[in-house]
Amino acid sequence: MIILITGASHVGKTLLAQKLLEKYNYPYLSIDHLKMGLIRSGNTSLTPMSDDNDLTGYLWPIVREIVKTAIENNQNLIIEGCYIPFDWEKDFDKDYLKIIKYYCLVMSKEYIENHFDDIKKYASVIENRLDDEWCTLDSVLEDNINILSLAKKHNQNYILIDNKYEIDI
């Protein structure tokens, strides 16, 4: 089984991946780790602040082939990150698609407005965020509205976090 977890920044992708690792003993790959390894090693001129579309265009072909390799080796893997395109399915034939589960995490406007202090408080629960000043109520609202719109447009599976933060897949 391959589990892809995506969504806007600060929705808990890494936390969910960690919980699934603990529950099912499936390893997970953080696309942010891959991104930083490639950037720090000098294998790309992209930076952590590069445009998300440029980062997705660079990272997704690598992640896509990791997914295929895991499937071909009958291995379970969780991959989490915001660099999974909404048209990801076009890159896999039907036999691969049977093995892949996709989840897009989205926080509702009400949830964000009522829990923004908690969102900031738990931002580093799994990984340290060195600079989180850019994360504002407005940026989180805008990101989640955009992600929800794209998930609906591409008819993708999404999990709406609305009243309280409880996710189980």
pLDDT in tens, 33-87: 999 999 999 999 999 889 989 999 999 999 999 999 999 999 999 999 999 999 9
Query: What are the tokens at 49?
Result: 């602040």
Average pLDDT of the segment spanning 83-102: 96
Closest listed residue to residue 112, CA positions, set 141, 82, 145:
141
End-to-end alpha-carbon separation of the chain, Å? 13
Matching residue, tokens 């603990």: 22
For residues 32 and 23, what is the distance between their CA atoms, to the nearest angstrom? 22
Q: Which residues pair with 29 in a beta bridge?
A: 79
The DSSP secondary-structure symbol of 103 reads E
What is the SS3 assignment for 35? helix
Position 61: which residue type? P
Q: Which residues pair with 158 in a beta bridge?
A: 104
- pLDDT at residue 97 greater than cutoff 80: yes
Question: pLDDT by residue (tens digit) across 98-128?
Answer: 999 999 999 999 988 887 677 666 555 555 5
What confidence score (pLDDT) does residue 36 get? 92
| Band of residue 135 on the pLDDT scale cut at 50, 70, 90 | low
Count Cβ atoms below 10 Å from residue 123 Cβ, excluding itself: 16
For residues 58 and 50, what is the distance between their CA atoms, to the nearest angstrom? 11
Question: What are the backbone dihedrals phi and psi of residue 102, each rounded to the nearest 5 degrees, phi first?
Answer: -120, 135
Closest listed residue to residue 66, CA positions, set 95, 48, 98, 92:
92
Whole-number percent of the chain with pLDDT over 70: 86
Question: What are the backbone dihedrals phi and psi of residue 135, each rounded to the nearest 5 degrees, phi first?
Answer: -80, 105
